[in-house]
């Protein structure tokens, strides 16, 4: 269909005024019309998610989901190098996913971690206990937040956490596609899989293969594997772990029906996936329909939520997923939370989402995603919430910096010149955001000054003030997760 010609002036009004109003009305409609009797619950069931034909089941009921890709939970590249994310950052982003209504998170580095000094398997046959303990923590915390996990086991690409090329490099093989055919390389990969699946979590005492927190193991990310390899690896996973679903990681093949169909009759594979850059309702429905006719589960495991390359509009894409029961779930790319010191963690691939959002457009789209997540769960959309209190981390760069709160939209700042117990004066009422740091006090008096900060959600609810902070005093002791501990105890009990 050709685009209609409209006057230039009207086009400008549409882009500047009418489009934001339309998106706001869509968000409001989604929130107001999707109210049902049940209220949200966040406990992870003791039962495993199972497949019944083309549907997922949990505790005997159909399980549909929406969630996020958080690829860096086991090992991160966004901290001035490669390092393990702190407990605070893991808790903060999982709390954010939960606040957005997620019930599933996909995380590459919980299962793809080879060939670097901080990886699970730095070199052939050598396994890193410290790396495993960071993965243990993320899995244990996901359980507390009521989040199931999809964990890929290798990668088609040359990312910092390794991939299929790592295994061929170890054997001095230049052609990395021999990863799929060379018996020695396949055996090396199976050894790695064996260590992952049989790992006993140091926090929970439960082997990964016995943990219902994990929804399933994905053979890899973005693979173009031959059918024989998919059959071999999926059968090997099932031989060790009969509890979890196996997911075909051949996302590249889902763009053409002929190669997609060749994997659909592999009995040891439960779920198939597609990635959408840009979002395409037509491609999604075609692939989901193929999986459904083969009596298998299908999910949209990655998509460009921000329409960076154009494609179908986000509201239409999400509405299609909700109405098409051949699609069991979806996971947008990708979610980042707060830094340990101040502001949000940044990433430069063009698809980073911070919640509630850095811009008006991001905030509107984030609320669409949130409403969609609760619709997939057939639950009422709750008022926006918060998880914890901020922590002032210093006065570097000439202003006040603080560690943010999951779900926070605005912050208020109070000042005291009489000591850490006050009296307090509000000098900034909901005038600061996580992107405001360092925040400067233009009327800071001479002498000792104390500050404290309070966070507010989108619904303007607030929790407690941050611990007080004396200007130029040492940075508070590093206690990752301390700003979350009180609120999570009560929230997790709900």
Residues 6+ apart with CB under 8 A from 493: none
* Tokens 């489009």 belong to residue: 19
The whole-model pTM stands at: 0.88
Domain of residue 466, CATH code: 2.60.40.10
Are residues 399 and 364 part of one domain?
Answer: no
pLDDT band, residue 45 (cuts 50/70/90):
confident
Is residue 162 located within the same domain as residue 38?
Answer: yes
State how many domains the chain has. 2
Residue 462's domain comprises 391-492
Distance between CA 485 and CA 1 in Å, rounded? 54
If asked whether residues 192 and 325 sit together in one domain, one would say: yes
Cα(116)–Cα(436) distance, integer angstroms: 36
Give the list of residues 6+ apart from residue 460 with CB closer than 8 angstroms, or none: 430
Is 351 a member of any domain?
yes
Reported as a single tens digit per residue, the pLDDT across 71-89 is 999 999 999 999 999 999 9
Nearest to 69 by CA among 44, 45, 93: 93
pLDDT tens digits along 268-317: 999 999 999 999 999 999 999 999 999 999 999 999 999 999 999 999 99
pLDDT-based confidence at 197, cuts 50/70/90?
very high
- State the pLDDT at residue 261: 84
Same domain, 232 and 133: yes
CA–CA gap between residue 233 and residue 239 (Å, rounded): 10
CA distances from 154 to 39, 196, 226, 393, 423 (A): 38, 12, 15, 37, 57
C-alpha 432/C-alpha 165 separation (Å) is 46
Q: Is residue 118 part of a domain?
A: yes
**Shared-domain flag, residues 292 and 339:** yes
pLDDT digits (tens, 9 = 90+) for 375-398: 999 999 999 999 999 999 998 767
- With 0-12 / 13-18 / 19 or more C-beta atoms within 10 angstroms meaning exposed / middle / buried, residue 358 is middle
In a domain, 414, yes or no: yes
What's the chain's length in residues?
Answer: 494
The answer to whether residue 385 is domain-embedded is no
Indicate if 50 and 125 belong to the same structural domain.
Answer: yes
Is the Cβ–Cβ distance between 369 and 322 less than 8 Å?
no
End position of a domain, from candidates 330, 345, 376: 376
- Please indicate, yes or no, whether residues 353 and 444 belong to a single structural domain of this protein: no
pLDDT at 456 over 80: yes
Q: Could you tell me if residue 156 is inside a domain?
A: yes
**Residues 279, 254 share a domain:** yes
- Please identify, among 325, 346, 376, the residue that sits at the C-terminal boundary of a domain: 376
Same domain for 130 and 271, yes or no, is yes
DSSP annotation of 121: B
Same domain, 35 and 90: yes
3-class SS string, 140-180: HHHHHCCCEEEEECCECCCCCCCCHHHHHHHCCCCCHHHHH
Locate all alpha helices (DSSP H) within 326-389, ordered by sequence: 360-376
Residue 1 falls within a domain, yes or no? no
Identify whether 3 is part of a domain.
no
Question: For the domain that residue 44 is a member of, what is the CATH number?
Answer: 3.20.20.80
Q: Is 59 in the same domain as 194? A: yes
42: region left, alpha or beta (phi > 0 left; psi from -120 to 50 alpha): alpha
The average pLDDT across 118-140 equals 98
Instruction: Let me know whether 88 and 43 are in one domain.
Output: yes
Does residue 5 form part of some domain? Answer: no
Domain boundary among 315, 345, 376: 376
């Amino acid at each position: 269909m050709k685009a209609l010609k409209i006057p230039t002036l009207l086009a400008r009004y549409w882009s500047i005024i009418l489009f934001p109003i339309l998106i706001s009305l869509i968000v409001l409609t989604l929130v107001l019309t999707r109210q049902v009797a049940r209220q949200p619950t966040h406990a992870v069931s003791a039962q495993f998610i199972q497949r019944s034909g083309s549907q997922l089941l949990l505790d005997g009921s159909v399980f549909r989901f929406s969630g996020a890709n958080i690829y860096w939970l086991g090992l991160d590249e966004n901290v001035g190098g490669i390092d393990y994310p702190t407990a605070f950052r893991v808790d903060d982003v999982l709390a954010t996913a939960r606040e957005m209504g997620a019930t599933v998170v996909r995380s590459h580095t919980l299962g793809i971690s080879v060939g670097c000094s901080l990886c699970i398997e730095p070199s052939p046959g050598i396994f890193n206990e410290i790396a495993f303990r960071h993965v243990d923590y993320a899995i244990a915390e996901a359980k507390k937040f009521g989040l199931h996990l999809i964990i890929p086991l290798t990668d088609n690409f040359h990312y910092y956490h390794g991939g299929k090329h790592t295994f061929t490099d170890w054997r001095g093989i230049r052609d990395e596609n021999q990863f799929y055919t060379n018996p020695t390389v396949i055996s090396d990969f199976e050894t790695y899989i064996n260590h992952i699946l049989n790992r006993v979590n140091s926090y929970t005492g439960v082997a990964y293969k016995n943990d219902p927190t994990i929804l399933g193991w994905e053979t890899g990310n973005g693979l173009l594997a031959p059918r024989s390899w998919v059959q071999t690896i999926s059968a090997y996973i099932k031989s060790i772990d009969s509890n979890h679903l196996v997911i075909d990681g051949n996302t590249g093949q889902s763009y053409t029906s002929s190669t997609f169909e060749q994997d659909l009759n592999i009995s040891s594979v439960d779920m198939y996936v597609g990635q959408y850059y840009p979002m395409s309702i037509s491609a999604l429905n075609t692939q989901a329909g193929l999986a459904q006719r083969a009596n298998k589960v299908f999910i949209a495991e990655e998509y460009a939520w921000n329409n960076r390359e154009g494609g179908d509009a986000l509201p239409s894409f999400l509405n299609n997923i909700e109405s098409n029961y051949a699609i069991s779930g979806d996971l947008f790319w990708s979610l980042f939370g707060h830094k340990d010191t101040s502001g949000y963690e940044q990433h430069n691939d063009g698809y980073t989402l911070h919640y509630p959002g850095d811009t008006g457009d991001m905030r509107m789209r984030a609320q669409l995603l949130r409403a969609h997540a609760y619709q997939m769960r057939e639950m009422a959309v709750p008022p926006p919430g918060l998880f914890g209190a901020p922590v002032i981390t210093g006065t570097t760069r000439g202003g006040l910096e603080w560690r943010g709160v999951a779900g926070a939209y605005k912050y208020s700042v109070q000042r005291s010149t009489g000591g850490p117990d006050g009296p307090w004066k509000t000098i900034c009422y909901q005038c600061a955001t996580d992107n405001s740091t360092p925040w400067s006090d233009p009327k800071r008096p001479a002498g000792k000054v104390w500050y404290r900060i309070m966070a507010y959600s989108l619904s303007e609810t607030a929790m407690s003030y941050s611990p007080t902070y004396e200007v130029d005093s040492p940075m508070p002791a590093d206690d990752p997760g301390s700003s979350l501990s009180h609120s999570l105890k009560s929230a997790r009990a709900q």
